[in-house]
Structure 1
Amino acid sequence: MNATLDAPGGDPNATGAAPRVATDGHREVDFRVAFDSARLAMALVDRSGRISTVNPAFAELLDASAQSLVGLPVTKLAPLGLDRRTRAACAAVLRGERAEVRCTRRLKHPGGALLWAEVGLVAAGPPGPAAVLTVADVSEYRELRERLRHLEMHDPVTRLPNRSLFFERLATALAESATGRVGLCYLDLDGFKAVNDTLGHRVGDELLDLVGRRLVQCAAGPRGGHLVARLGGDEFALLVEGSTGTQQLTDLADALLRALQRPFRLAGQRHTISASIGVVERPSAGTGPTELMQAADTTLYWAKADGKARWTLFDPERNAHRMTRQALSSMLRPAVDRGEFALDFQPIVGLADETLRGVEALVRWRHPRFGTLGPKEFIGLAEENGAIVPLGRWALAESCRQARGWQLRHPGLPIYVSVNVAVRQVWDSDLVTDVADVLEETGLPPGLLQLELTENEVMGSGGRPVRALQALSEMGVRIAIDDFGTGYSNLAYLSRLPVRALKLDGMFVRGFQAGQSGRTDRADETIVASLVDLAHKLGLTVTAECVEGPVQAERLRRIGCDTGQGWHYSKPVAPERISALLASAPREAPRGNVVSQDAGRRARGAERRT
């Protein structure tokens, strides 16, 4: 606009009309029409900070006449409700120190309704007014924004706060907790997938909505005010922003379980579900949202693992154990490459004459931080993350190398070596090729290698694993079933698989040890005698594990068990001790045995003294 507005200095109360345009009458009319007809409330402010003129929209918005507004200081317009900080910013605009200032205020409409208004003061260049004051009704925009935010922050199925809003509130709770503590119940529905799969996703959504309502009822108890959110899927969270302690959280978890155990009416039928809940309660200081949710997630996993339909409280010691397991899991593969594993060997002794028949290879992890770890501490992790394949390949090669060395140094005493194999080694690698390559590289006769698989793994596998066992047996390798009697106890597979030996689980053998009364468990003896008799009729040999005393050894010998291993004979020892044991054995061993009874007893005595 090329018009020049009147400079201040005249009587500020003289008129509320639009300013005069000095150079062009037509432009003056155009400006006045535009100014007066604008729906946007506008006012011109002179350099003294007072209103020099307003348009009708401005007067209507403030429910005042134009004449009453002219001359008032802009920073003291009560209807605008400008705070101290905003008034200071307006003064800076009038002094030419900043270009503009904008703020949003809640104003009262002349009709009594409240509205949201955006107030702006924009500097104007000379000559003319110092600034232009505008007040825009943004109520519809604010309402739309709030609706969009609600949609963005709430779950469409349950209408509960979603993950985004939950984490926003969680961060606020950690920063502003009234008690200095926060609590969290993190729950997951047990069996929700079955509802979705059998009744459909529509019914599944209906169940989620009903669950959400019950959770809200629990959260609105005597103390009330707890945030309930659906985090996704069938996962919900209840946030206690001002926790009073663990008891409050566990009481809440109990209430949640009871509420969800009541039947739901779905698709015209009654359905009962349960939930698993992880409970975390801790000081808010020093705790971050991610850390708290990790603890809750871990605790929920424990509740599931402990049997479901329960709550579990976060346990720092249990969590430390979990963290250790995670650390071990991540270090397994590099440890194989670094050569941190070693093998010990436990003798397998003939029960009839106490002569050495073979050895079982047991892997040890010489961990640089945790010391020597036994198989129970890391084999399960290796099977979970796949490290069992390179580790198993190394154990197989090292066992065969050791066995071949003993055979070469003691050609008249051919003991076999038994190596544990996980079924995942068959699925994730070519076990048959691995065994053939190792036997060829080491020169060990196939008949001196025995591979052990647990009963559960043999019964739970099919197809490729079974074909691999058949191929290994045809190669001449012995196949043994470890922990026999504790798994499926389905004897049919003994006739279908190329099994050569059974290893009885120690739980049966322990019953053979006489107690304080001097009596042994007759039931265990009957079971073992029956298994031994069955195995012999099928042409299988039987090894008893965990033989810990002479009473066990004698009773096992009497019922015909072939071999035994356990601390009664020797603990697992380094390869050098096996070499020393073989060196002390006579060259001629009866019935193919490799160590005489006297040599076996001498070795047993030496091992029990170490």
Structure 2
Amino acid sequence: MATRSFLRGFTDRAAARGESAKHSDDHAAVIAMSDSTRRLEVLDDCENADFAWLWASDPEGRLIYISPGAAARLDCDAEQILARPLVDIFEVATDNPGGSSQRPLKFQLTARSKINNLIVHVAPGEGERTRKWWSLSGHPKVDAAGTFLGYRGSAKDVTVEYERKLQDSRLAEYDSLTGLANRHRMNRLLDGTLASFKAAKRSCALLMLDLDRFKHVNDTMGHQAGDDLLKQVSERLLRIIGDAGEVGRLGGDEFQVILPDLDDRGALGELADKLIQMISQPYPIGDKRAIIGTSVGIAIAPYDGLDRDGLVHSADLALYAAKNSGRGQFRFFSHDLKDEAEERQRLMEDLREALATDALELHYQPVVRLEDNLVVGFEGLMRWNHPERGFVSPGTFIPMAEESNLIIQLGDWALRRACRDAVAWPQTVKVAVNVSALQFANPGFLDSVAEALKSSELTPERLELELTESVFMGDNTLVDETFKSLKELGVKLALDDFGTGYSSLSYLRSAPFDRIKVDKTFVDSCTARDQNSAKIIAAIIGLSNALDIETTVEGVEAFDQLDLVREKGARFIQGWIYSKALPQNEVIERMSIGTFKIEPDGPDRYRAERRKVLKRIGVIHGDHRLQGVMRDLSKTGAGIEGLFGIGMNESVVLDLGEGQLAVCQVTRVREGEIGVEFETPLVSDGAGGLCTRHRISPYALAAAGMPLEALPKGSYPMGLSAKA
């Protein structure tokens, strides 16, 4: 019985193996195209294994099928996304690491184009935080009658690969230190912007920024501090520019800003001023504080360049001009700018020679006691009369000297000269000398001060050193020790330009200042409406009185300003209402006739200086273009000579050059001369000059039928040209 049972079991197992082998043979056979059942099995196997996902849409672009595995990868059921429009589920990637742009999915579906490996961001529902990237392919399905039935396609998850490409692309296009776009990316963006804007007849502004005194931070505080500073500068730039443009770091301390669709030079000037002001605020670096500044060059397409090379070159020239005119300034490009780099180098060589040959001078501006108009001191101001260039502004050569460290030699010279000259004055009269941050931080500075006093035999308390808050940059211990040593020498200390920078009260608490100087910028606007300058002046004077520190108000030029600062409690005044800076021989001459008193003399009311100019311009009067000579210019009007036949209250258009057309009304008529008032006030060009807020587009001129010959040489797109 046992044997028969074993044989029967063996037979059953053999039969089972035979049946299984038969099925195996069936599945090993080639699957015919007509075998829909087995083909469906293959499809199911692939979908279940996640080798590929399938999807389908209806003619209206709604999802009607998606593989279960795909839905599971999205952490949802298929029912949650079926019947939804594809454009609600898939969003085409805009940050394509390949650099080529992809058309929106809606456009492609509407065009019924074939979709081939389209990278999309998947956002199936609310609260989805993890970004997923898919590669989408599909083709339009039509029936025999040509009716569109929707799409049939495949998809796969490429998140890991795509994120890696994005990271590689970011490393290639973004600055690793600051996270800003690098030079390569900025070049690509500018190329693309200018190419598309040229066809659309749109404008684009380019700002070039260069940090002032950054090298000093690196030299005194170390490269790690310099890197930290660059990161903070980048954060401030991003906060100021926001979504209005793209900010990039080109390398070192050079930055670039692209601002599409902006040609308003008034707005650009205001933005540049804001950048300069915000970047000039102190930076915390560990337990220290760094103070730098910036200069800005501005160029605008299509006026200043049509392509990247032309526009960047124009912005660079404007930047060099801004730096050459003094720190903390902006400058618009104009076609009469020279190569400032070469000009700057020649001027620097001439400055070295002037210092070596004692060709520089110190002039002295009086500080007057308001109660009796008695001169109680002078500020020594450096003057350079170049044998070929004439007078060179200190705002031009002092920043150059600071960048080359020549400022230390210049500062030592000024100390010696001021002390030597002051010995010839009455004992009650002090002399003030400006000290730069570089000079203050120089290890030999204390010896220079002591030597100047010793060689001149000037009483130490008659020497006042004027310092700005930039001296607090660097080693706090070293700064405190220097202050202590200076007070031991017996010299006086003044905090200059107070209120224009960070102006921390900790300066007054930690440093032994004897005087605070209220900056001219507050005085210029103290009598204007809707200004806080008068309140700031009153606050600084009140603070000084509370701390038992004397105050000097700088830059007083008119009686309305003098009356206001007197009302706010000012006791000492320095400004043109009393005197400009005088050479030493004139100071001695004025003192020789007795007590040096100066009666104030100036205009009743302060107004911005009307600039004297001598420039040939075009004047469009009706259908005629005339030539005239502009004699003076202000923000609101101008005086023009050489014109006849123009009556009062008539409208004219001044061609100020480079596409600057100013509409104005005649307000004064004399023989051969007219005065005009501008319909729109001019704005600052950042270099002490004025320019129109907007320039007239050559496209608009051509459309209006105006002769392009009326415009000066410049850039005019699409084959337009202008003769000189």
Given the two structures, how large is their TM-score scaled by the length of structure 1?
0.48
Structure 1 or 2: larger strand share?
A: 2
Q: Which has the higher helix share?
A: 1
Q: TM-score, normalised by structure 2?
A: 0.41
